[in-house]
Structure formats: structure tokens, C-alpha cells
Amino acid sequence: MNLSSRLERLNSDMIVFSWLSKILDYPGEELIESLLSDGLLENLDSPEAGELEKYMRSFTSPDELLLELQKDYTRLCFVSKPRLVPLFESVYKEGKLYQDSTFDIARLYDEAGLRLDEEFKLPPDHITIELEFMSYLIYQEIEAISSGNKENEELAVRLQKETIMNHLGDFGLQFADKLYEHAHTPFFKSVAGILREFLESEMEHYSN
């Protein structure tokens, strides 16, 4: 792969990781505005992206869509007992919060030079944080390539591989399966399909 193709792939992956991070957080007005206006769905090479677009356009107003998504997300991730779709890696791997996987992913954040905001009260193995972390690492790789900093480039690539192969890959696939199984809205079923397809591709890439 030549440098231009590599940078193009990296930029695309960076955008998709960041997009997935936002779309899997609790839905807010900003998310709906972004989904309806940024055109990213048109560039996602996935049949689920078309279904997602079709579903969103079926609502008469953004507020109506937002309420429907908030209801489904709350049911899936907050009020169900036990949680239908847990948001934290440690729940999938060790059965409860704040286990070895939690502290291991936090170690990777630290190695990358990141500190979670003190006001952030959730465990660091939240699905949206791990997705955004991958986007950040890819950005760091792009910056390192552009500046010719081989050491930073190698660090960014190593941390990406560790995050995908030891954390986000299996965790994200399990999360996607639960989301697809339990979601009531076509929106979250489509997001589950996009997440699964994307992570499978990433795992294949980083396993080589």
C-alpha cells in the first residue's frame, strides 16, 4: 500500500471510529443534527448505512426521531435489569465492573499520554471511550507520518493493535451482537451491523 492510500484509509478509519463513539453514546440533539446533515452515511460502504438513512428519514421531525432513540437506548443500557446491553468491557470479560480489563485499557490511555477528565465518573472501559481512543491513536499515527516521527508512528500503531486485539475487538463484537438482539428500533439494529462489520475488518487488518 502506497503512502497516499495508507493515509486515505487511516483518515477514513479515524472518522468512522469517532462517528461510532458518538452514535453509541446517549442520543442528544447534537447527534441528530449531525446524522441528518453531515453526509457520512452516504460514504459508509455497508448495506446497514442505507437502512439507517431510510429509517431516520421516515420521521416527520428530528425531535420525534430523538425521542424514539432515547427511549430505546435507555431501555437497552440503563433501566433493564440485568442490563440488556452493558456499556463496559469488564462486564463482558469478567462479569462485573472495574476488573483487570478496566485497568489494562486505562494503562494504554496513560501510555498514549491521555488523562480522563476528572469530572468523568464512568469506568474507562466504556464502549464510546475505547472507540474514541482508536480514533485518537489513528490521528496520532497520521500526524507522526506527516512529521516523519517514526518513534511516535510505531507507538501509535502498537497501541492501536493492542486496543483492537486485546480489548475493543472482542468486546465490540459482543456488544454489537447484544445490541442487534435486543434493540427495538431499526436504528440501533443497523448501528450494530455497522459496528460488527467495521470491527471485523479492523481485526483482520491488525492481525496481519
What is the model's pLDDT at position 118? 66
Do 65 and 74 meet the contact criterion of CB atoms below 8 Å apart?
no
* Cell reading at 133: 481512543
Query: Roughly what angle, to the nearest 10 degrees, separates helices 100-111 and 127-147?
Result: 20
Which CATH number goes with the domain that contains 116? Answer: 1.10.3480.10
pLDDT-derived band of residue 36, with 50, 70 and 90 as boundaries? confident
Do 135 and 14 meet the contact criterion of CB atoms below 8 Å apart?
yes
Residue-wise pLDDT for 113-137, tens only, equals: 998 776 667 899 999 999 999 999 9
What is the model's pLDDT at position 43? 67
What is the model's pLDDT at position 131? 98
Reference 90, options 79, 102, 81; nearest CA is 102
pLDDT-derived band of residue 5, with 50, 70 and 90 as boundaries? very high
Integer Cα distance of 17 and 135 in angstroms = 5
Structural domain boundaries enclosing 117: 3-207
Residue owning grid cell 435486543: 182
What is the model's pLDDT at position 119? 63
Do 134 and 111 meet the contact criterion of CB atoms below 8 Å apart?
no
Q: How many domains does the chain have?
A: 1
What is the model's pLDDT at position 17? 96
Integer Cα distance of 129 and 151 in angstroms = 25
Residue with more model confidence, 55 or 120: 55
* Cα R_g (the chain), whole angstroms: 17
User: Per-residue pLDDT averaged across 57-67, rounded?
Assistant: 94
Question: pLDDT > 70: what percent of the chain?
Answer: 97
Residue-wise pLDDT for 166-201, tens only, equals: 999 999 999 999 999 999 999 999 999 999 999 999
pLDDT-derived band of residue 40, with 50, 70 and 90 as boundaries? confident
Average pLDDT of the chain, as a whole number: 93
User: Per-residue pLDDT averaged across 101-116, rounded?
Assistant: 93
